[in-house]
Structure 1
Amino acid sequence: MESSQGNSISQNNLDELLMQSTSAIPTSRVERLLRERELRRSTRYSHSNEESKDSNGDADMSISINDLYVPDGERGNREEDFFEGNASVKNLMDGYETQGARVPKQRLLVVANRLPVSAIRKSEDSWVLEISVGGLVSALLGINEFEARWIGWAGVNVPDEVGQRSLTKALAEKRCIPVFLDEETVHQYYNGYCNNILWPLFHYLGLPQEDRLATTRSFQSQFAAYKKANQMFADVVNEHYRDGDVVWCHDYHLMFLPKCLKEYNNKMKVGWFLHTPFPSSEIHRTLPSRSELLRSVLAADLVGFHTYDYARHFVSACTRILGLEGTPDGVEDQGKLTRVAAFPIGIDSDRFVQALELSQVKDHIKELKERFAGRKVMLGVDRLDMIKGIPQKILAFEKFLEENPIWRDKVVLVQIAVPTRTDVPECMYPHSHAKLY
């Protein structure tokens, strides 16, 4: 007998599960949820112990947030169990599997504020493209089982049609689709609302303390630009969307995008993933547009976070601020369920292993070994912004050497710091253009 996932289950095991599930009728909602969870566990256990598999040999590795919400007495190590085998893209693909095999090369539209390449204009119709630096780019380079298209801003203002056409053509070779934002929109949307309002708040830094009337006026204009920019992203997505595509929206820059996309096509598969912390409901409550942003995100089919705590904070904000019901699978609003889960991000490790074989990499490794010969090397790689704790790291290293003089001249700290948000003074260290050694 075949299960809905295409894995074999022996008749005896299935009969046993059915007998267990019907041995008693749950008398409460909590008991029913616990019974369903135990049934899923038993089913997964039967799958993992079955010797025979389908021809594709793939096991279902998706785990829902059911495994997160358990009674306090049973919580134990469930958080650690939850992180095993998660893949956010696989959860989005629930509606696109055939019996025994996945549809080959499913189209995936990745939508982020910035494209994975930066455009530099050389002439009226000539552009040079350089790979952008960032964690999102590094993480998504490992996705190769989908036919991916990346939609985002190229990081440059292109007001003329000739430049837009030529840049669109150049980006198409990289499977990228540009969203053209004018300078004022970028200033109000990206430098303003995204990095002056949302970014500090999501990192528990609070809203900017300025003159109240001036803050209110700037907030309103920045929020309007934020909604306008999100609508512009949605217009481009809708232009290139095909039936069956999965749209994957990224980060706090595009919290309005799921709602905009669903207004175009309610059947569109939409996921949204946050690459920063999501604050507790008490912190999120201080944001004037809190309810509107939450409801816009809830328009997505799946909402993802890095950790269990961030997912729990989001569900808590929806229940306490919007008055909605948090369920084991996510958040329910008038019969519409938005799944909420944690998906720890990773990198394409094979790329790093292969890079070790490059001659220029080998030469650089040799140079570093000669430079730091006989000393322990401590390496730090961080973005150069206030939340990364780089000054604290240097002070801690200084204190270590003061308290352990035997290690002086025997250990060295190498700090690699990548400048970020250079147009937003609030997010930068003073003199952050200087190199750290």
Structure 2
Amino acid sequence: MPGRTPAPADLVIAAGLLPIESDADSRALRFTDRAAGLFTAALAAHEGRTAFVGRVPTALTGRAAVGDADLHPITLTDQQVADFARGHCATTLAPAYDGVRQPVFRRAWREAYTEVNQIVANRIAAAAAVGARVWLHDHHLQLVPSLLRDQRPDLRVGLQLHGPFPPLELFLRLPDRQALVAGLLGADLLAFAHHQHADNFRQAAQYLAGVRAGRDHLQLPHRRVRLAVIPAGVDADAVRALALDPAVRERAEQLRAELGRPETVFLAVGRLDHSQGIRQRLDAYARLLADRRLDPDRTVLVQAITSADRTEHHAQLRQEVERQVAQINGGYARIGRPVIHHLHRHLDQAELVAHHLAADVFLATPLSEGVNLTAKEFLAARIDDTGRLVLSEFSATAAELPQAMLVNPYDVEALADAIVAAGSAARLPAAEVGDARRAVEGQDARHRSREFLAALGDAAAP
């Protein structure tokens, strides 16, 4: 890297892809809106020197700092990106872990996954001070803990898995199941989004590695691996500030006007993936229109697809979803008044909060999921305690927010009933909405970051 060589860091945070961008005015690097809460909260929770390791956009690979932290970007070939990110991570591990669609197995992808994990481990080992803490994010880096333990046994390593960890019968389908368990067992702390995910890994480790298990740990011959449930939080203060911003509130009013001032606005925001239950949600909405339980002149659904992997699978799903939206609009829309507004673009944080304020009901109905940060942000924005959240039972966030209207998204009739019930109650303040909002605020990104770092310190203590 050009310029100075950063001093060793006593906290190293690594991800498969670091969500950073260059500020248009200052050209300084910053975290993108969607990631800012998670990563800036980690910086706030740690008083020492921090470094970030991971892949960054190609134009930023020569940069050495992001905010007040050092940046150690890794460089991958186009083939490595294709095999590691779009191959093994998106097309093998993600579907294997969420259990919704069939994973695809290719040896070249597994080899690239091992190569990239070794590259990341090498960079972390070079960046970390003696006795430093290492915070790894998600399923992209599951081999790194054991690789680091071989190189730098002095480091305290924790991995936070934001998505689900599958039941044993699904995990055993993976050709690299043994290597994944061995990699994860190199950590001092493994943090999951839900207690069932922790239980699933405990069973996999017992079955494949023969380790003894306690209530909150796995016992190895000379040390323990702590298991914890630490779902990620959101920057609730930042969301609240935007929700109070006159410009954002004006934009919310403008959105409702652009939608034709319907009585009820339903909102769904998420990535393009079968696990998100998009098809089932559209089926339920279409059924309500067909049964005249929703009036197409008085209600509208805004569905925003904010990200998608560049894979053949996701391209096919996009075509299917757009065809389904077109069929529903073709049957129930009037000229200039579609019943579904389907967006396929990024929403910055201010625009997203404006959508949260404009909506009456937020639909977070995945078929399988770890943490749903957008659902938490919806609640954080509802400072008047109006609105309703319809939340899938199969989201890890359901365990944190029992006040939401919980639903089985596989049951389209039950999903339709929940949509109608939420719409009819959404404009009245409710105690459960306030309770859910306060739960989000009390377990925000800063709280969860402190919790993770404290757990990592406790796990590594002799």
Shift of 1:333: 1.9
Who is 1:7 aligned against? none
Who is 1:192 aligned against? 87
* Structure 2 spans left out of the alignment, 5+ residues: 1-8, 323-340, 344-462
Q: 1:174 to 1:330 in 2, by over 3 A?
A: closer
Contact 2:30 2:67 in 1 (8 A): no
Shift of 1:230: 0.8
Report Cα offsets for 1:367-407 as digits up to 9, x if no partner: 12433535111111111122111121122112122223463
Shift of 1:115: 1.1
Who is 2:45 aligned against? 145
Task: Name the aligned partner's letter for residue 135 of structure 2.
Answer: W
Equivalent residue in structure 1 for 2:75, among 137, 162, 180: 180
Contact 1:202 1:278 in 2 (8 A): yes
SS for the counterpart of 2:41 is coil
Task: Name the aligned partner's letter for residue 193 of structure 2.
Answer: H
Who is 2:342 aligned against? 436
Who is 2:125 aligned against? 238
Q: Distance in 1 between matches of 2:342 and 2:36?
A: 24
SS for the counterpart of 1:181 is coil
Equivalent residue in structure 2 for 1:201, among 77, 86, 96: 96
SS for the counterpart of 2:181 is helix
Normalising by the residue count of structure 1, what TM-score does the alignment of the two structures yield? 0.64
Who is 1:12 aligned against? none
Number of residues of Structure 1 aligned to a counterpart in Structure 2: 311
Q: 1:420 to 1:206 in 2, by over 3 A?
A: closer
Report Cα offsets for 1:294-339 as digits up to 9, x if no partner: 0110110000110000000000111122222111222112132101
Q: Distance in 1 between matches of 2:142 and 2:300?
A: 42
Report Cα offsets for 1:236-295 as digits up to 9, x if no partner: 112211134211011111011111111122121100111211111111111111111101
Equivalent residue in structure 2 for 1:344, among 231, 236, 247: 231
SS for the counterpart of 2:228 is strand
Shift of 1:358: 3.6
Normalising by the residue count of structure 2, what TM-score does the alignment of the two structures yield? 0.61
Task: Name the aligned partner's letter for residue 117 of structure 1.
Answer: I
Contact 1:203 1:279 in 2 (8 A): yes
Report Cα offsets for 1:119-174 as digits up to 9, x if no partner: 699xxxx978575465x554334342225432210132x7xxxx85xx22364766
Who is 1:252 aligned against? 139
Q: 1:235 to 1:388 in 2, by over 3 A?
A: same
Q: Distance in 1 between matches of 2:101 and 2:300?
A: 36
Shift of 1:182: 1.6
SS for the counterpart of 2:271 is strand
Shift of 1:221: 2.1
Shift of 1:359: 4.6
Per chain length, whose mean CA-contact separation is higher, i.e. which structure has more relative contact order (CA < 8 Å, sep 6+)? 2
Who is 1:378 aligned against? 266
Who is 1:274 aligned against? 161
Q: Distance in 1 between matches of 2:118 and 2:220?
A: 23
SS for the counterpart of 1:436 is strand
Task: Name the aligned partner's letter for residue 267 of structure 1.
Answer: D
Q: Which has the larger radius of gyration?
A: 1
SS for the counterpart of 1:283 is helix
Q: 1:112 to 1:406 in 2, by over 3 A?
A: closer
Task: Name the aligned partner's letter for residue 64 of structure 2.
Answer: K
Q: 1:286 to 1:310 in 2, by over 3 A?
A: same
Report Cα offsets for 1:85-110 as digits up to 9, x if no partner: xxxxxxxxxxxxxxxxxxxxx94321
RMSD of aligned Cα (Å): 2.9
